[in-house]
Copies of this chain bind each other. A is one copy, B any other.
């Protein structure tokens, strides 16, 4: 459920809102290794704005086509802008990737790169100043995330635990740790940052964006080191870059270490919807 003015800016490009409202749901299925099949869409709109709806649907249905997902139902009504998407997919019985299956000694991996979406949000809020070209790149990441459906499916039977990075890497990996009753250490220097994040590396917001910025919709997953070859093959088959960023260890929580092995202080663990 996405609320106008909260999950997206009220004046956002409706086509991007349509894309993203489906993308975040596809990402949930990706994190379970599921094949998306059907989706329902309910819209509350402040007014019957046909141009807005047409643009929204272009974004929504374009991504649905890309993933061969059928829109099978839903609702429209008048009300404060609200988008409720419900997706259904299929995965062989017992084969779904889960949050509670990380094991001691597992490698921790993440797909793609982290932080751009959060930097775009910070720029829009006026907290950060990105150059025009960097902004354009970061906005694509924020507005048109590409759910890692093919990667999730390829990791079935290979990865132990998986989650999509929607609340931020530390928070989401923390969910895996909590559910699997383990801890994780990740190394700051190994984290995949784009040229944008690297260019502003000295700024304190960058660390925040990479570690705690949500909205990247990459997959974070764990797998035993002896299966690293299969993990890399799965990523290659899915045409998705992945990076090994840390390890599952005993304990609780997620620690981020610098090059000297010192723990980096973390400001905020995740997103509280009622915070």
A-to-B contact residues, CB < 8 Å: 1-4, 6-7, 40, 42-44, 47-48, 73, 75-80, 82, 84, 86, 273-274
What are 17 A-B contacts with C-beta separation under 8 Å? A1-B43, A1-B44, A1-B76, A1-B77, A3-B80, A3-B82, A6-B78, A6-B79, A7-B77, A42-B84, A42-B86, A76-B273, A78-B273, A79-B80, A79-B82, A80-B80, A82-B84
Asked if A78 contacts B3 (CB within 8 A), the reply is yes
Which one of A1, A3, A47, A78 has the highest number of Cβ atoms from chain B below 10 Å of its Cβ? A1
Chain B contacts of A86 at CB under 8 A? 40, 42, 73, 84, 86
Chain B contacts of A44 at CB under 8 A? 1, 3, 82
How far is A3 from B86 in the complex, measured between Cα atoms in Å?
Answer: 18
Which label, helix, strand, loop or mixed, suits the secondary structure of the A interface? Answer: strand
Chain B contacts of A80 at CB under 8 A? 3, 79-80, 82
With CB as the reference atom, state the residue of chain B lying closest to A274.
B48
Chain B contacts of A274 at CB under 8 A? 47-48, 78
How far is A47 from B272 in the complex, measured between Cα atoms in Å?
Answer: 12
How far is A79 from B5 in the complex, measured between Cα atoms in Å?
Answer: 9
Within the complex, the shortest CB–CB distance from A209 to chain B, in Å, comes to: 22
Chain B contacts of A40 at CB under 8 A? 86
Chain B contacts of A7 at CB under 8 A? 77
Chain B contacts of A47 at CB under 8 A? 274
So how many copies of this chain end up in the complex?
2
Within the complex, the shortest CB–CB distance from A20 to chain B, in Å, comes to: 15
With CB as the reference atom, state the residue of chain B lying closest to A28.
B73
How far is A78 from B42 in the complex, measured between Cα atoms in Å?
Answer: 17
Asked if B42 contacts A77 (CB within 8 A), the reply is no
How far is A78 from B4 in the complex, measured between Cα atoms in Å?
Answer: 11
Asked if A3 contacts B273 (CB within 8 A), the reply is no
Chain B contacts of A273 at CB under 8 A? 76-78
With CB as the reference atom, state the residue of chain B lying closest to A42.
B1
The 3 tightest CB contacts between A and B, nearest first, are A3-B79, A84-B84, A80-B80
Q: Beyond the given A1-B43, A3-B82, A40-B86, could you list 9 further A-B residue pairs with CB under 8 A, ordered by the A residue number?
A: A1-B79, A1-B84, A3-B78, A6-B78, A42-B86, A47-B274, A73-B86, A77-B273, A84-B84
Asked if A6 contacts B77 (CB within 8 A), the reply is yes
Chain B contacts of A3 at CB under 8 A? 44, 77-80, 82
Within the complex, the shortest CB–CB distance from A92 to chain B, in Å, comes to: 18
